[in-house]
Structure 1
């Protein structure tokens, strides 16, 4: 090998290796930076508004000696109920069949042998979205008069709930921020930054249970309805990094 290509070696290779090991030892012994102190706070907020629409679940229950008789009677009554709903100005898109079923009815009391079928029962449930609450009571009255004899619930809602949800979230975050500043100050610290945010929201409001079976002769006037107020609650879990003041 030519002399000009011979690699240059340190005069004291052992001394160079020893120096490198010392440098590694110093790095290993260097203190690790402490993690930032954190503070976790849960803030709560709420917003309320009067509902501007309602969802009704109503329908017809009929019986017959045969399945055909029960279905025929049910179809006739359900058609009359839906016609009344449409006459009240409810749009087709706001009327939907929620459930239809037919089931055998058995003889009651003690009996020997297999259960004996004595007839059939047909059920047809319709969900109706009412966008004008002023007509709700009169509409319920007309549905009962036209043949509706079953109701499973009445729920009030907002057509545009986003604004109320946003207000509740904002209130929850502000509550968490205020708590964090107060707690940190009491501990001689201050809030440096927000590390994470986790939001939860839930809705609550008036849901009026309605008797499962209704009779037309009991509805002699428009049903009195009070919509009350809807509420949205929000919970914000914020993690803050804090530092000495």
Structure 2
């Protein structure tokens, strides 16, 4: 007779085709795979990699009395930013417009309707490059040519699949070791794996951007790449006998 060692284990139910317009029928009984005890084990495996891609978001915010003036000033400053990126060796394919925005600025007074005092224009680009060691110098270059809105760098792994596969394999080993432990404690043995479900992965991307403020000094802004943790979470169902 089958028993369950863990409350989260679910019976495997048979399904049959349901004619169009008919209501689904509840199966009469669960499908029996084999006599034994089912055990669900949740495990997370991980590995580390040095990030090899940096992404910076940089832009220009300008204000003026008219919409045309705000956009015109913004366009000139953004052209200097893009030219600086080109001179710094950033490929055009790695620079992508992220935001273009024009919005009125209001003055509020009690008992009066809001009054437009001017306009604010915003233009920003996402910059992606693989030489992380140059991130600090590029941040300083951007600030030096007039970029007044900078987020980053966000550090990530360009091709995380190999690292994810290592993490998945590690998770299986951890799950197997835990299943063997539970089986021995129950006087049983882990006969085989019934199913594996991947419940989540972390591809090593940085959780969030780091706000940058230009330092008043001669050397470039320091950026430490460190290591990114890559992980995979699995739910593995074992048959114990």
Do these two structures clear the TM 0.5 threshold for a shared fold by scoring above it? Answer: yes
Deviates more, 1:180-189 or 1:96-105: 180-189
> What secondary structure, in the 3-state scheme, does the structure 2 residue paired with 1:138 have?
helix
> What secondary structure, in the 3-state scheme, does the structure 2 residue paired with 1:189 have?
coil
In 2: Cα distance, 1:222 partner to 1:158 partner: 24
Change (3 A) 1:33 1:102: closer
- The C-alpha deviation readout for 1:178-230, integer Å capped at 9, x for no partner, is 1111211221111111111011212456445114xx56x84643111111210
Q: Quote the residue 2:232 is aligned against.
A: 234
- The C-alpha deviation readout for 1:63-102, integer Å capped at 9, x for no partner, is 0100000000100011100111111111111100001000
Specify which structure has the higher proportion of helix: 1
Change (3 A) 1:80 1:184: same
In 2: Cα distance, 1:177 partner to 1:33 partner: 20
Matched-pair contact (CA < 8 Å) for 1:144–1:219: no
Listed as ranges, the gaps of 5+ residues in structure 2 are 1-31
Q: Quote the residue 1:161 is aligned against.
A: 160
| 2:210 maps to 1:209 | yes
| 2:63 maps to 1:56 | no
Matched-pair contact (CA < 8 Å) for 2:151–2:209: no
In 2: Cα distance, 1:143 partner to 1:129 partner: 14
In 2: Cα distance, 1:150 partner to 1:218 partner: 17
| CA RMSD across the alignment | 2.1
> What secondary structure, in the 3-state scheme, does the structure 2 residue paired with 1:227 have?
coil
Q: Which structure 2 residues correspond to residues 17-166 of structure 1 after superposition, within 5 A? A: 35-108=35-108, 110-166=109-165
> What secondary structure, in the 3-state scheme, does the structure 2 residue paired with 1:185 have?
helix
In 1: Cα distance, 2:151 partner to 2:112 partner: 36
Change (3 A) 1:137 1:70: same
Larger Rg over CA atoms: 1
| 2:167 maps to 1:185 | no
**TM-score normalised by length of structure 2:** 0.80
In 1: Cα distance, 2:140 partner to 2:84 partner: 10
Listed as ranges, the gaps of 5+ residues in structure 1 are 1-31
